[in-house]
Amino acid sequence: MFCSEKKLREVERIVKANDREYNEKFQYADNRIHTSKYNILTFLPINLFEQFQRVANAYFLCLLILQLIPEISSLTWFTTIVPLVLVITMTAVKDATDDYFRHKSDNQVNNRQSEVLINSKLQNEKWMNVKVGDIIKLENNQFVAADLLLLSSSEPHGLCYVETAELDGETNLKVRHALSVTSELGADISRLAGFDGPDTKLMQNSGKTKFKRTSIDRLMNTLVLWIFGFLICLGIILAIGNSIWESQTGDQFRTFLFWNEGEKSSVFSGFLTFWSYIIILNTVVPISLYVSVEVIRLGHSYFINWDRKMYYSRKAIPAVARTTTLNEELGQIEYIFSDKTGTLTQNIMTFKRCSINGRIYGEVHDDLDQKTEITQEKEPVDFSVKSQADREFQFFDHHLMESIKMGDPKVHEFLRLLALCHTVMSEENSAVRNPEGQIKLYSKGADTILFEKLHPSNEVLLSLTSDHLSEFAGEGLRTLAIAYRDLDDKYFKEWHKMLEDANAATEERDERIAGLYEEIERDLMLLGATAVEDKLQEGVIETVTSLSLANIKIWVLTGDKQETAINIGYACNMLTDDMNDVFVIAGNNAVEVREELRKAKQNLFGQNRNFSNGHVVCEKKQQLELDSIVEETITGDYALIINGHSLAHALESDVKNDLLELACMCKTVICCRVTPLQKAQVVELVKKYRNAVTLAIGDGANDVSMIKSAHIGVGISGQEGLQAVLASDYSFAQFRYLQRLLLVHGRWSYFRMCKFLCYFFYKNFAFTLVHFWFGFFCGFSAQTVYDQWFITLFNIVYTSLPVLAMGIFDQDVSDQNSVDCPQLYKPGQLNLLFNKRKFFICVLHGIYTSLVLFFIPYGAFYNVAGEDGQHIADYQSFAVTMATSLVIVVSVQIALDTSYWTFINHVFIWGSIAIYFSILFTMHSNGIFGIFPNQFPFVGNARHSLTQKCIWLVILLTTVASVMPVVAFRFLKVDLYPTLSDQIRRWQKAQKKARPPSSRRPRTRRSSSRRSGYAFAHQEGYGELITSGKNMRAKNPPPTSGLEKTHYNSTSWIENLCKKTTDTVSSFSQDKTVKL
């Protein structure tokens, strides 16, 4: 088989238990986990190969080769190789560090111990050394790092309980049965290794992680190509100029240059000059750009990791930036796709109510038998008589205990079922024999599934229990239906024998087993239903409201049913009673779904509206302008709710545009009963047709596909394992931390990266284009203006640290003001701080600075003598003057660009100037000239030039002429057309001056408001009741328990926040127009 051929899919696997010699001939994979990319031998060749696949690195490698050709190179090789080696080395160190941690993680898994049966003895063996066919003994709570076949168990009937949270996110225990032929062996043997290493389910299902790139990355790649094209144009212009000069003027210099007549044609001279200028002007394509960007992103990632306000102290879980390449995209999010259970809710179930034989337990009634709210003064049921009772559990209906004491058979049966089927699962069954010898089948599951399996005699009780389910749903509780069946002893034995035969079958095994379970799970007798509460996490309402004010749209994608999804929407204030309409799409086929979408759009836009097809305009700003025009035609707030069955039809090619246009015009979108694949499809739909930056957040393995599909994936370290976290780009413990991640870290990262890029391109154009102007005065001879060592050190020593400090530490407003004023987030969504227009402005700024840097010293030096009467208009003095002017101008410029000064900024900016002068005087000294006479020809020039007052006057004039237009423009812009950020920054300065330095406002903890949210399914048909809001329109209900006493009206909180934001903005400038 050739190496390029794909590995054939295994149909069957032949294994002999405890026979390594036999199994090795099949060459099964070993059990070693490999997620690392390199080893000691392969690191250097593979990493270099990867790095030179980048266009910039390959480009500079070609330049280095060109510089080795003496006919075209006027620069020595070290001017290119020094920065190239530095960039490659820094990138290699970063890649090696990342891979080291991958190796460390792999070793932790590979070196875990297991007990393997070898030579008839149980021996300790590392998991990485386990082979296919080995017999392994597992203890309770032991880690499993291979796919195993259960042979026997110490539990009765060969049962084993496995938690698969790392695989599928499920925290409940899964029941596994041993093989019937080996189950009677008991604890003598345990499990057989079937699939190892990369063949295991976990590694197979981990999927291929998509390489994510930010919009700024894509824009940078485009701009670098434009710059390269610009460089080619400059080279062509100068090459043409050289050919013309050679043909018209160059003949006068042939004798002086010892050229023979006709030895060198003007065309060939122009050709060589083209390549010479490509080498000289190569700094316009910034080699250090990418490595500088990576350093800045790394710093931003550490700020996220170190943020104590995103640290969850209850479980000691910090926020973690699992990638360093996406930070600035956090400041451009337009759509958030969120899971519900465990993401918005706590995923911790509290038993609240139940319905047993048509009676509700858990409600509290007054003396007139009227239902009342639970208050703190209400006495809970005393469970202390039972030593096993949970001391923290509170239940306020004493009728349940009374029914238990009276021996109500239905209540006892109900509680016995819960004791035996004790996990929160969508469906679970248990067959048990009671002390009287009777066999009972206990079943618990979703009402839609269980009600279809009931005996016809349950019709009255079914209707009553359905009403109770509707009531529980209205209160935000998660429900399960409870039923049982009495089984005949003879029938059960026959059925169990058929089940054993089906388990041993080699063909259609799963179908036969499913059919047998379907047969026994019929004619069930309904007992009632349970209702548990899954509360919202702390701060969810505040976070959702704040993100909405930042113009971020939040879509909830959940696997729960419609009633559940709607109620969580009301609980989070995504849905409110004040909304103009809530569109519910529940069509059963494509035609019905399309018709429902069209009707909803007519209600939203009006009968005479011409609908667009949902496709985007290529340019982001044009698209957003179109969206704003469409949104202006919408008056009021709308919401869209669609179930998974209808969504499958809506995602078809001829309907999805209608779905997307309607959904994007709604304030809230909730997709319920969706599969993991549909979650990913919804995200891809918005990414593709809206050209919007998306974020997906979830806590379970069923959210992994959604997390990987979005531009940014966030994992919640919750109750459902680590699969979502491992697949994510960022992780933390609580949904509320998303507010700080986006509004503070995301906005700052975008702000800093944009300022860094603007300045970086500006200084490179200002530095490089001086050579272009000089070409017109040196006969297009490809002579450099600066000393070659200055060209080498300018980007990597003189100007690297100040721009890095600005890119890492700068901030326009404080973190608290970033949270208090979410509208500050909008410039990132609109790409206002760095785009193609901003790039051209930076280029024009750099061109202007290069003109000033060249022509002011050139004019000042024209026929000028020094103070001592000597002529100073020589090439070396001219070069030193321009180089000094350049360093000072770009340093002053970055000082003007810096909004937030730290000690590091001061040291880096002013220290860089000091380093420049130190190196300048060192390289121009007699001592270094004596050691390296060929490399440092500018001997004594710095000392001679910089002692002349006229030189410093030229430097001062150049600096003022370069900087003053920028200062004047920014002053007028901030005064006449201030942005919201300008106003808040001005307000911050005023507050800082007005407040005494020692005074500090005490921190106050704001109590949170939240409603109960739930995620379990109920019988279809209650959506209209919940969407009508009739069951939850009570205003300001009194607190019902001590835990709920801290709740307050969330609408008031939202109004206060909006009012606070408006008042804050107004206080910055009462008569100024706020412009983004």
SS3 615: coil
Phi, psi of 608, deg, nearest 5: -95, 10
Catalytic residue among 134, 147, 196, 339: 339
Residue 57 backbone class (left: φ over 0; alpha: ψ -120 to 50; beta: rest): alpha
* Residue 1031 in tokens: 């069951």
Q: What is the DSSP letter of 7?
A: P
How far is Cα 343 from Cα 725, in angstroms, rounded to an integer? Answer: 12
Helices (H), 112-170: 165-168
Question: What Cα–Cα distance (Å) separates residue 162 from each residue in 178, 203, 443?
Answer: 13, 18, 20
* Residue 105 in tokens: 């993680």
How far is Cα 690 from Cα 686, in angstroms, rounded to an integer? Answer: 5
| H or E element that contains 52 | none
Task: Please name the residue that has the structure tokens 């960007």.
Answer: 293
**Half-sphere exposure of residue 364: CA atoms within 13 angstroms, side-chain side:** 15
Helices (H), 721-799: 723-727, 737-740, 747-775, 788-793
Q: Under a CB-based contact definition with an 8 Å cutoff, are residues 852 and 958 in contact? A: yes
Q: What is the DSSP letter of 258?
A: T
**Residues 6 or more apart in contact with residue 859 via CB below 8 angstroms:** none
Burial 201-221 (b: 16+ CB within 10 A, else e): ebbeebeeeeebebbbbebbe
| H or E element that contains 588 | none
How far is Cα 150 from Cα 875, in angstroms, rounded to an integer? Answer: 85
How far is Cα 626 from Cα 747, in angstroms, rounded to an integer? Answer: 25
Question: What Cα–Cα distance (Å) separates residue 395 from each residue in 61, 239, 360, 383, 825?
Answer: 74, 89, 13, 9, 45
Q: Under a CB-based contact definition with an 8 Å cutoff, are residues 882 and 770 in contact? A: yes
**Half-sphere exposure of residue 368: CA atoms within 13 angstroms, side-chain side:** 3
| 581 CB neighbour count, 10 Å cutoff | 15
How do 191-195 and 147-150 pair as beta strands? antiparallel
SS3 359: strand
- Residue 284: what residue type? V
Helices (H), 620-727: 620-632, 644-650, 656-665, 676-690, 704-709, 723-727
Q: Verify whether residue 897 is a known catalytic residue.
A: no
How far is Cα 449 from Cα 646, in angstroms, rounded to an integer? Answer: 19
* Residue 1035 in tokens: 């205003």
Helices (H), 782-874: 788-793, 800-809, 815-820, 826-829, 836-861
**Residues 6 or more apart in contact with residue 185 via CB below 8 angstroms:** 151, 152
Q: Under a CB-based contact definition with an 8 Å cutoff, are residues 244 and 267 in contact? A: no
Q: Residue 717, exposed/middle/buried by CB under 10 A (0-12, 13-18, 19+)?
A: buried
- Residue 404: what residue type? I
How far is Cα 417 from Cα 429, in angstroms, rounded to an integer? Answer: 10
Q: CA angle, corner 819, sides to 815 and 823, nearest 5?
A: 120
**Residue 902's closest CA among 790, 808, 979, 828?**
808
**Annotated catalytic sites, by residue?**
339
